[in-house]
Amino acid sequence: MTTLTQESVKYYQENGYWLQKKQLFSEDKMNTLRNIFEDQLEVKGSKLSDELDTPHFRDERLLDFLLSDEVLDLVEPILGPNIGLWSSHFICKDPYVGRATPWHEDSAYWKGRVDRYDKIVTVWLALDRSTKENGAMYVIPGTHVNGFSEYEEVDKSTNLFDTQIKNVDTTNAVCFELEPGECSLHDSRIIHGASENKSPYRRCGYTMRYFSTETKVDLEKNKSHKIWLARGKDIAGNPFVNV
């Protein structure tokens, strides 16, 4: 079992992120995950490679990864024993043309859909090597305690989103360079982003997002969104599909 030490959890709580420089899944499981991603690419139609959101809604083979002990053992020290699966997303920056990810807080895109944001964590699993050159993620440590930021519009043709946080101080930005199979964890409130991919190497990651079941999900604002009880019990009375 791979989990976080008390020192790692303290670092996460203070800084809003943790780099897990260890293999999350076995090589066989990683190969299966890569094959599922390739299947998703086959059926994506006109979508760009960075737009493959909630793929587990379409391919429940991904639940073998999302509800696995490997991942849940990693997030339980942060969230506690009662864990819900919020979402997942294949984010792939194709060589030379992969779009930038503007500075943002994940929580800003979920505003009003849940009643709290302090216990939502994203596991970002590298399917490819993630480097500065091919668009690795950057975070601004400690910004997970600042509340919602002010946003401005940006050009969506060159960016994954159409808004970005105004006036971000990047002096202390930390780059998440990862080898295939390694992962990072970050708080839903932390400011983060990534540059475009100007290299000849693809940068693909799979994000797996979880919340403490103390968090209440607003059913009216999440009518087409499915959530799973991943571990433990439901505390807030959420509309889990598997309860």
**pLDDT, position 204:** 94
| Average confidence (pLDDT) over 182-210 | 96
**pLDDT, position 44:** 74
**pLDDT, position 130:** 97
pLDDT value at 28 more than 80: yes
User: Do the domain assignments include residue 209?
Assistant: yes
pLDDT value at 188 more than 70: yes
- pTM, two decimals, is 0.94
**pLDDT, position 47:** 63
Is the Cβ–Cβ distance between 205 and 127 less than 8 Å?
Answer: yes
Helix, coil or strand: residue 145: helix
Domain extent at residue 107? 6-231
**pLDDT, position 229:** 98
User: Do the domain assignments include residue 243?
Assistant: no
Provide Rg for the chain, Cα atoms. Answer: 17
Long-range contacts at 60-64 (CB < 8 A, ≥ 24 apart): 61/32, 61/36, 62/33, 62/36, 62/88, 63/228
| Average confidence (pLDDT) over 205-217 | 97
* Strand locations in 61-167 (E): 83-93, 101-104, 120-126, 137-139, 151-153, 163-165
Q: What percent of the chain has pLDDT over 90?
A: 83
User: Do the domain assignments include residue 237?
Assistant: no
Residue 21: give its domain's CATH number: 2.60.120.620
pLDDT value at 109 more than 60: yes
User: Tens of pLDDT along 129-138?
Assistant: 999 999 999 9
**pLDDT, position 2:** 75
**pLDDT, position 48:** 60
Which residue is associated with the tokens 């693909």? 204
User: Do the domain assignments include residue 144?
Assistant: yes
User: Do the domain assignments include residue 236?
Assistant: no
| Average confidence (pLDDT) over 213-223 | 95
**pLDDT, position 51:** 63
Domain count within the chain: 1
Helix, coil or strand: residue 204: strand
| Average confidence (pLDDT) over 208-223 | 96
User: Do the domain assignments include residue 125?
Assistant: yes
pLDDT value at 3 more than 60: yes
User: Do the domain assignments include residue 74?
Assistant: yes
**pLDDT, position 52:** 82
User: Tens of pLDDT along 29-62?
Assistant: 999 999 999 998 888 765 666 568 899 999 999 9
Q: What is the mean pLDDT of the chain?
A: 93
User: Do the domain assignments include residue 158?
Assistant: yes
Alpha carbon distance 39, 48 (integer Å): 14
**pLDDT, position 243:** 79
| Average confidence (pLDDT) over 123-134 | 97
| Of 44-58, 84-98, 149-163, 221-235, the least confident | 44-58
**pLDDT, position 18:** 98
